[in-house]
């Protein structure tokens, strides 16, 4: 018995020893695998490092040689016209006041370093500390939230390399930055940056900017002036103090904060500079001189610069870009001639126009004002502070009614006494009421009451949806919007683009000035023109176009756009006049024939043109009782007749549209019968499947039904 107990005890101990031995082996095995894993990871890391070193060496070996001329001189961009060959003579790198390092004031150097590269005198071309901070910021704030380029790297990038964001380019940039630091002193590198950076337009270098904006050499700049200039390179056009003093002041204050943070100035100095208005020491307006070589394309080129800065991506005009634009020089020349013509009835009345390619949305030319020169000027073509009047009717009333309510061009509308929901009476310009009429007639006669009724039927939501697809932001669209008074106004650029969609089978492309950008290497390019979108059915586009044809038909009594008609050219258009309120008429001492603004928007299958005319001072009216009201139409006609080819294609009725003869005034619409008087017949358009099936005459309908 005891022997059995002993053997059991021994077996238990034996099993325990085996378990411990097994666990020991498992732990030993796990440690072995962990060690092997670490070794493998280390090997991969070393291999990756070595691969990176080799790749860096390969990329660096193909980097261009340092060229002192390129290092010191800016690289001007090249702008090409719509044909892709004609160079636009606007920007040049020659407008520069070169400043030696010894003549750069300490306050300006401190402002630049605090803003761009505070550790400039400590790193060797690459700021590892700043790079690490940028990596963290990009991880936590999203890629691109912070950059890490030093001043040395910016000199390299702006002198030799393309703008492409590739590992090769970054490797070459790092290599050349390090090499630059070996061959040139810090002072020489800072001098390069100081004199070649783009400040605004074709102004390069801080010394040139000091003279242009403050009328003094850089050595005489005050703290607040130095801070303003130091902040400009981030967005030269946006922070131009002549054009955007508020934005420039906000940027200046950011720079002053950075200067205090990096102990370049103290709090008292910052506060004093903060309290100085930006405009207090700028060159007075009457003493400013334009810096452009040519003013022929000034307004268009300003739009190009604005568009470039608004694009997603890192594009800078001092990096040798080739920019393919939509400008048609011949069209621009005709616009310039027209804006300087004797069509204007006095010296003070102003005008503006935008010409857009109907098919592509590219802006072919711009007429910003009668004279658009000097550093302080107003672009009336892009401003959104003028009331567009009845030009809005196809956009918020008739277009949406055809699109969403399946209206035909013969829809019956009644021109009668009518009021807004507030009780305010609505009037037509002639003070009369014409009774039942088709939607077509109410549009070509530009009757107010039918337009308001149509918008009420359409509804604000539908009107907003329709106009947004045309790139328009009217804000709130209420009853009065049908007469040109939505919550927000639009520009002639917006209007030309929207009307172009009617002439392009309902396809809208946002008006733009840039087609593509080619970088300095000559092979890397980006197409940046907007994508076309379907804004409405082709049936809607054609039916609106056909109604607007009648606006410029000289054979139709009551059409409002006859002055714009061009013989032999198939085109459509809409007039617009904005009137003063009763209160304003009394305040300004004006009579009922006074108008603030007159418009005309018209288009062919090739071009869409929007024209505004009025006075800079809104208290000065245009007299609608005279030919003054025709100015916008006459300007339109002169330009469109010169730029249009005799072979301009006509608008083609799509398969989605049918034509029927209806009896005017019927509700719902009925087809005309043989008994319908000729005076009551009208050929009207319907979206396919929406034509009426009933005839007006009961007798004729009965006979027709029997025959069927």
**How does pLDDT run across 521-539, given as a tens digit for each residue?**
777 789 999 999 999 999 9
Which two three-digit tokens encode residue 549? 């044809």
pLDDT band at 75 (very low <50, low <70, confident <90, very high): low
> What interhelical angle do 223-231 and 106-116 show, nearest 10?
40
- What confidence score (pLDDT) does residue 705 get? 54
Which two three-digit tokens encode residue 146? 């912070």
For the chain, percent of residues with pLDDT exceeding 90: 65
Calpha distance 29→614 (Å, rounded): 90
> What interhelical angle do 245-261 and 106-116 show, nearest 10?
90
pLDDT band at 62 (very low <50, low <70, confident <90, very high): very low
pLDDT at 135 over 50: no
β-bridge pairing 322-325 and 78-80: parallel
- What confidence score (pLDDT) does residue 146 get? 36
Start-to-end Cα distance in the chain? 119
pLDDT band at 202 (very low <50, low <70, confident <90, very high): confident
Per DSSP, helices labelled H in 62-147 are 68-72, 106-116, 128-141
Residues 111-131, mean pLDDT to the nearest whole number: 83
pLDDT at 52 over 50: no
pLDDT band at 178 (very low <50, low <70, confident <90, very high): confident
Q: Residue 203, Cβ neighbours under 10 Å: how many?
A: 22
pLDDT band at 145 (very low <50, low <70, confident <90, very high): very low
Residues 31-41, mean pLDDT to the nearest whole number: 56
Calpha distance 355→493 (Å, rounded): 8
Predicted confidence (pLDDT) per residue in 86-103, tens digit: 999 865 544 568 899 999
The set of catalytic residues is 116, 390
List the Cα angle 527/532/537 in 5-degree steps.
Answer: 170
pLDDT at 562 over 90: yes
Calpha distance 440→393 (Å, rounded): 12
- What confidence score (pLDDT) does residue 56 get? 42
- What confidence score (pLDDT) does residue 132 get? 42
Pick the closest to residue 612 from 627, 626, 625, 622 (CA basis). 622
- What confidence score (pLDDT) does residue 175 get? 74
Rg (CA), the chain: 35
Residues 338-346, mean pLDDT to the nearest whole number: 96
Predicted confidence (pLDDT) per residue in 274-327, tens digit: 999 999 999 998 887 655 445 789 899 999 989 998 888 777 776 778 999 999
Q: Which contiguous run of DSSP H or E holds residue 285? A: none
pLDDT at 168 over 60: no
Q: What is the largest CA-CA distance in the chain?
A: 136
Q: Residue 10, Cβ neighbours under 10 Å: how many?
A: 10
For residue 575, list its beta bridge partners. Answer: 600
Which two three-digit tokens encode residue 193? 């940056």
Q: Hey, what's the torsion of the CAs at 63, 64, 68, 71, to 10 degrees?
A: -70
Calpha distance 595→612 (Å, rounded): 12
- Produce one character per residue of 659-692: b if its CB has 16 or more CB atoms within 10 Å, e if not: ebebbbbbeebbbbbeebeeeeebebbbbeebbb
Pick the closest to residue 412 from 187, 692, 18, 115 (CA basis). 692
Predicted confidence (pLDDT) per residue in 451-502, tens digit: 999 999 999 999 999 999 999 999 999 999 999 999 999 999 999 999 999 9
pLDDT at 227 over 90: yes
Calpha distance 443→451 (Å, rounded): 8
Calpha distance 232→176 (Å, rounded): 26
Determine contact, residues 456/477, Cβ cutoff 8 Å. Answer: no
Q: Which contiguous run of DSSP H or E holds residue 325? A: strand 322-325
Predicted confidence (pLDDT) per residue in 387-425, tens digit: 999 999 999 999 999 999 999 999 999 999 999 999 999
Q: Which residue, chain included where needed, has tokens 């101990």?
A: 13
Determine contact, residues 508/498, Cβ cutoff 8 Å. Answer: yes
- What confidence score (pLDDT) does residue 238 get? 87
Per-residue CA distances from 587 to 23, 424, 583 (Å): 100, 20, 6
Please report the DSSP string for 371-437 in residue order.
---SSS---TTT---S--GGGGHIIIIIHHHHHHH---TT-EEEE--EE-TTSPEE--TTS---EEE
Determine contact, residues 242/282, Cβ cutoff 8 Å. Answer: yes
pLDDT at 616 over 90: yes
Pick the closest to residue 457 from 406, 391, 416 (CA basis). 406
């Amino acid at each position: 018995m005891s022997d059995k107990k002993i053997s059991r005890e021994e077996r238990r101990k034996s099993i325990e020893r085996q378990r411990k031995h097994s666990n020991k082996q498992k732990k030993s095995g796990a440690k072995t695998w962990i060690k092997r894993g670490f070794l493998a990871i280390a090997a991969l890391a070393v291999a990756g490092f070595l691969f990176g070193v080799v790749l860096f060496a390969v990329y660096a070996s193909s980097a261009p040689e340092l060229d002192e001329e390129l290092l010191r001189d800016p690289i001007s961009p090249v702008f090409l016209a719509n044909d892709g060959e004609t160079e636009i003579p606007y920007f040049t790198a020659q407008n520069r006041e070169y400043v030696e390092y010894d003549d750069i004031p300490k306050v300006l150097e401190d402002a630049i370093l605090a803003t761009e590269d505070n550790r400039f005198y400590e790193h060797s071309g690459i700021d590892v500390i700043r790079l690490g901070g940028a990596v963290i910021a990009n991880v936590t704030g999203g890629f691109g939230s912070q950059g890490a380029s030093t001043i040395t790297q910016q000199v390299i990038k702006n002198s030799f390399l393309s703008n492409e964001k590739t590992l090769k380019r970054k490797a070459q940039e790092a290599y050349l930055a390090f090499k630059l630091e070996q061959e040139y002193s810090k002072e020489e590198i800072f001098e390069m940056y100081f004199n070649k950076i783009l400040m605004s337009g074709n102004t390069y270098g801080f010394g040139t900017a000091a003279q242009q904006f403050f009328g003094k050499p850089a050595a005489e700049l005050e703290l607040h002036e130095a801070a303003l200039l130091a902040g400009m390179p981030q967005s030269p056009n946006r922070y131009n103090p002549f054009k955007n003093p508020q934005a420039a002041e906000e940027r200046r204050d950011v720079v002053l904060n950075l200067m205090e943070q990096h102990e370049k100035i103290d709090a008292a100095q910052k506060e004093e500079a903060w309290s100085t208005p930006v405009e207090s020491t700028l060159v007075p307006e009457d003493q400013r001189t334009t810096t452009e070589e040519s003013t022929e394309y000034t307004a268009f080129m300003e739009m190009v610069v604005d568009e470039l800065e608004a694009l997603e991506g890192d594009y800078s005009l001092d990096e040798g870009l080739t920019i393919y634009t939509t400008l048609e020089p011949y069209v621009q020349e005709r616009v310039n001639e027209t804006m300087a013509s004797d069509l204007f009835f006095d010296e003070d009345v102003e005008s503006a126009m935008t010409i857009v390619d109907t098919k592509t949305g590219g802006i072919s030319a711009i007429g910003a004002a009668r004279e658009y020169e000097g550093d302080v000027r107003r672009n009336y073509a892009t401003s959104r502070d003028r009331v567009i009047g009845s030009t809005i009717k196809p956009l918020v009333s008739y277009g949406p009614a055809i699109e969403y309510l399946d209206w035909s061009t013969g829809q019956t509308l009644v021109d009668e006494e009518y009021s807004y929901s507030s009780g305010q009476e609505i009037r037509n310009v002639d003070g009369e009421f014409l009774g039942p009429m088709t939607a077509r007639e109410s549009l070509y006669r530009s009757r107010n009451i039918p337009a308001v009724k149509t918008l009420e039927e359409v509804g604000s939501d539908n009107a907003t949806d329709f106009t947004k697809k045309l790139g328009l932001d009217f804000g709130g669209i209420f009853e009065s919007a049908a007469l040109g008074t939505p919550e927000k106004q639009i520009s002639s650029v917006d209007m030309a683009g929207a009307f172009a969609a009617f002439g392009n089978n309902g396809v809208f492309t946002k008006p733009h000035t840039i087609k593509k950008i080619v970088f300095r290497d000559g092979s890397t390019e980006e197409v940046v023109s907007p994508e076309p979108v379907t804004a409405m059915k082709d049936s809607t586009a054609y039916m609106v176009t056909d109604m607007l044809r009648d606006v410029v038909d000289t054979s139709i009594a009551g059409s409002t756009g006859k002055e714009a008609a061009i013989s032999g050219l198939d085109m459509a258009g809409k007039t617009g006049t904005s009137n003063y309120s009763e209160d304003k008429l009394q305040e300004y001492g004006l009579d009922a024939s006074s108008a603030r603004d007159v418009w005309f928007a018209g288009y062919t299958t090739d071009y869409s043109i929007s024209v505004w005319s009025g006075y800079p001072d809104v208290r000065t009216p245009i007299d609608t009782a005279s030919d003054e009201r025709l100015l916008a139409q006459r300007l339109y006609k002169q330009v469109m007749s010169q730029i249009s080819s005799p072979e301009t294609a006509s608008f083609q009725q799509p398969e989605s549209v049918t034509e029927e003869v209806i009896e005017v005034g019927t509700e719902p619409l009925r087809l005309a019968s043989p008994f319908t008087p000729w005076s009551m017949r009208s050929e009207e358009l319907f979206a396919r499947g929406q034509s009426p099936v009933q005839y007006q005459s009961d007798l004729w309908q009965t006979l027709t039904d029997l025959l069927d």
